[in-house]
Amino acid sequence: MKVSPIFRRLRSLKDLARLACAFERIPRPLFAFPYDGKSYALAVHAEQLGDHPLFFFAVVDSLRPFVRYRSEGDYEDASFSDDALPTSYLHAPVLTVKTAPKEFGVHMKDGPLPEGVGRMELEDVNSLLKLGAYRYIVDESYPAFYLSTEGGDLYLGTFVHMGDFDGSDFYFYVKLTGDPGSPFIRYNPSKVNDWSFTSRTAEHGYYYVKVVRIAEGSF
């Protein structure tokens, strides 16, 4: 079967590390593809849309064996490391790709989502969080929310597969009134309006969602 990947560039290595590591039972592997002849596209496979793997990547000038990540209080750190130490960090392994299907190079530029993926705009962030809670129950992991821009406006969205294996994929999104400026959302599923953007992830009684920023463009 022919692989038709989709790529979206992220704003920073920190966004990539947050996507690969935050709230994951095991950090996701990062794949390093050659990029523009002098740098690398460091990518994580974060979503699957039918037969199309969706990768998010950050461009880096050099590589080391791991990307380490930690979020504690208001402090968030992401950097390269030669080993999986200290253990207070989560470490995503870096795998250097020597050869790959040609589609990976062709599709590394932003392109449209597959025709089978529906787009739905929701009324507010609360509705998006309820949808995230649904995916948490189904997949046993909370989805990432993607922050993107289109025509000068900010949008926050996430992907959800509805139905069984042969069901449909949707991108649900909301329009924001301003830049949240924080990498997470805290959410109390028992109280409809008890949610906020935050830099902290240790307060009890809340679910937390990671927010990653697309470098430019949207879905």
The structural domains of the chain, with segments of one domain joined by +, span 6-106, 118-213
Tokens 């990671």, residue?
210
The whole-number pLDDT of residue 157 equals 97
Q: For residues 44-70, give the mean pLDDT.
A: 95
Q: For residues 23-27, give the mean pLDDT.
A: 93
The whole-number pLDDT of residue 28 equals 97
pLDDT at 132 over 60: yes
pLDDT classification of 51: cutoffs 50, 70, 90: confident
Tokens 């929701």, residue?
122
pTM: 0.93
The whole-number pLDDT of residue 37 equals 83
Q: Report the C-alpha gap between 99 and 181 in whole angstroms.
A: 38
pLDDT at 182 over 60: yes
The whole-number pLDDT of residue 111 equals 66
